[in-house]
Amino acid sequence: MKKLLMILTLSSLALSLVACNTVQGLGKDIERSATWTKEKLP
Specify the pLDDT at position 5: 84
Contacts of 12 (CB under 8 A, 6+ apart): 33, 36
**Binning pLDDT at 50, 70 and 90, where does residue 19 land?**
low
- Distance, in Å, from the CA atom of 28 to the CA atom of 26, rounded to the nearest integer, reads 5
End-to-end CA distance of the chain: 12
pLDDT at 3 over 70: yes
- pTM, rounded to two decimals: 0.41
**Binning pLDDT at 50, 70 and 90, where does residue 23 land?**
low
